[in-house]
């Protein structure tokens, strides 16, 4: 029987987010006190032992990322928390921001101490006004009580936190785009290299980590990297916040050990598909993530197992779609989203998404032909291999994976049939 764990989410609903007293009573800032007795490289070593992978979607080893920045002998350095949680179906960072903001701040302070950085920025999604207010209030409380600002806890280390908000652009979730936005520039991605660890915010070395990644740091420092890693698998340490949504009984955010299977999450924690319907597909990692059918449900949620099966952990979003939905209409909605959210900087993403949408519309209208499959493949390959940033590289992933698992439904649309009765030609009785 699958069980949730309370590692990162232990304080959710138990403490007041603006109460330093509540946070201290829950063990808050004990990790920071311990960190101040440690050498920065020793902290980095614990993060490496933890096997913590970036929780924003890319899955890059956090310890390696920290070590790379530490080796750069250029100052000042900046700590940036990416809280621009704009991936559809992803809402786990919002819970940390709303229910345990001081844990996130503690993680950022520890990161600041490691890199001798005196300034941190948290960039919060524009559609999260409540989260913005909660984070600012928590930061103000900590500034007044000596846990932020000058000479934290009587030490010679100072750290100032700046809360900033986005304006709704999905592309600003990409790290370099986020930094441009922080600097007051247009939200468009940067050319890499140079990498952000070398030329980041204000062209200075910068650490950019996701909310969930940074919020795990206090536990790792306080209890050790090996202890944190023991909650997961050999390759994927710790736990993961999973966002379960769509056609499932118990939608919500669940904290699970890495290694829990997708079937256990959907059926044992989520209660399965309601109303007697059958599961058709699952999309993992948000709208930019791959889709698959029930044949992969026994895949453990961990980086190596998902990669082996051609999917990914991504942001941890699991969207369940039942058999009342049309696959072609589903990918149409996703492609419309990417057409709207493309920043327009590169032709492959800007025009590629538009061309894919035109082709998908042909399927929904019953005017597509077999040659359109080849056109989808060529356009998708070009976007994946040549787009300027991750948005363009992954925008067609839902479409191409749905073609892999559900090509028969696309072929039915060529013949004027939509088994779900969703597409227009079916409604017209043709």
362 and 306, same structural domain? no
pLDDT tens for the chain, 430 residues: list them: 578 999 999 999 999 999 999 999 999 999 999 999 999 999 999 999 999 999 988 889 999 999 999 999 999 999 999 999 998 999 999 999 999 999 999 999 999 999 999 999 999 999 999 999 999 999 999 999 999 999 999 999 999 999 999 998 999 999 999 999 999 999 999 998 999 999 999 999 999 999 999 999 999 999 999 999 999 999 899 999 999 999 999 999 999 999 999 999 999 999 999 999 999 999 999 999 999 999 999 999 999 999 999 999 989 999 999 999 999 999 999 999 999 999 999 999 999 999 999 999 999 999 999 999 999 999 999 999 999 999 999 999 999 999 999 999 999 999 999 999 999 774 444 3
| Strands 206-210, 78-83: pairing kind | parallel
CA 243-244-248 angle, to 5 degrees, is 170
* 234 assigned to some structural domain: no
Give the tokens for residue 22.
């509540």
Across the beta sheet with 206-210, the strand order is 160-165, 119-124, 78-83, 206-210
Q: Show the 3-state SS of 191-234.
A: CCCCCCCCCCHHHCCEEEEEHHHHHCHHHHHHHCHHHHHCCCCC
DSSP string, 36-105: TTS-HHHHHHHHHHHTPBPTTTT--BHHHHHHHHHT---S--EEEEEE---STT--HHHHHHHH-HHHHH
* 10 assigned to some structural domain: no
The residues facing 161 across adjacent strands are: 120
173 and 225, same structural domain? yes
Give me the residue label for tokens 């890199």: 115
What range defines the domain where residue 225 resides? 20-229
374 and 316, same structural domain? no
334 and 224, same structural domain? no
308 and 248, same structural domain? yes
243 and 380, same structural domain? no
Q: C-alpha dihedral over 107, 110, 111, 117, to 10 degrees?
A: 130
User: Of the candidates 278, 306, 322, which is a domain's last residue?
Assistant: 322
Residue 337 DSSP SS3: helix
- How many distinct structural domains can be found in the chain? 3
The CATH number of whichever domain residue 286 belongs to comes to 3.10.20.600
* 275 assigned to some structural domain: yes
pTM: 0.94
Give the integer Cα–Cα distance in Å for 405 and 403: 6
């Amino acid at each position: 029987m699958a069980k949730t764990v309370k590692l990162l989410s232990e304080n959710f609903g138990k403490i007041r987010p603006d109460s330093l007293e509540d946070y201290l009573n829950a063990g808050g800032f004990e990790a920071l006190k311990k960190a101040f007795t440690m050498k920065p490289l020793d902290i980095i070593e614990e993060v490496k032992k933890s096997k913590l992978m970036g929780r924003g979607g890319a899955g890059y080893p956090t310890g390696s990322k920290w070590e790379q920045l530490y080796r750069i002998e250029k100052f000042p350095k900046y700590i940036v928390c990416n809280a621009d949680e704009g991936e559809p179906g992803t809402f786990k960072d919002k819970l940390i921001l709303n229910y345990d903001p001081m844990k996130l701040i503690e993680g950022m302070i520890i990161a600041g101490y490691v890199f001798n950085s005196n300034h941190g920025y948290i960039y919060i999604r524009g559609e999260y006004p409540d989260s913005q207010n909660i984070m600012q209030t928590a930061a103000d409380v900590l500034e007044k009580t000596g846990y932020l600002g000058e000479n934290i806890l009587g030490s010679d280390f100072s750290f100032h936190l700046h809360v900033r908000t986005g304006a709704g652009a999905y592309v600003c979730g990409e790290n370099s785009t986020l930094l441009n936005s922080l600097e007051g520039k247009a939200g468009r991605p940067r050319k890499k290299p140079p990498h952000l660890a070398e030329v980041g915010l204000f062209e200075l070395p910068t650490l950019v980590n996701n909310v969930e990644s940074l919020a795990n740091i206090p536990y790792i420092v306080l209890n050790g990297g090996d202890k944190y890693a023991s909650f997961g698998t050999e390759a994927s340490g710790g736990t993961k916040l999973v966002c379960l949504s769509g056609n499932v009984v118990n939608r919500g955010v669940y904290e699970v050990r890495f290694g829990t299977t997708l079937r256990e999450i959907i059926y044992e924690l989520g209660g399965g598909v309601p109303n007697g319907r059958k599961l058709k597909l699952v999309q993992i990692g948000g709208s930019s993530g791959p889709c698959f059918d029930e044949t992969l449900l026994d895949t453990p949620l961990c980086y190596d197992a998902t990669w082996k099966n051609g999917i990914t952990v991504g942001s941890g979003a699991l969207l369940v779609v039942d058999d009342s939905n049309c696959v072609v209409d589903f990918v149409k909605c996703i492609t419309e989203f990417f057409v709207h959210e493309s920043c327009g900087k590169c032709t492959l993403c800007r025009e590629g998404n538009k061309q894919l949408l035109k082709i998908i519309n042909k399927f929904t209208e019953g005017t597509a032909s077999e040659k359109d499959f080849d056109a989808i493949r060529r356009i998708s390959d070009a976007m994946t291999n040549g787009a300027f940033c991750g948005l363009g590289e992954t925008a067609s992933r839902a479409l191409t994976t749905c073609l892999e698992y559900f090509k028969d439904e696309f072929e039915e649309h060529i013949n004027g049939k939509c088994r779900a009765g969703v597409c227009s030609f079916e409604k017209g009785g043709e």
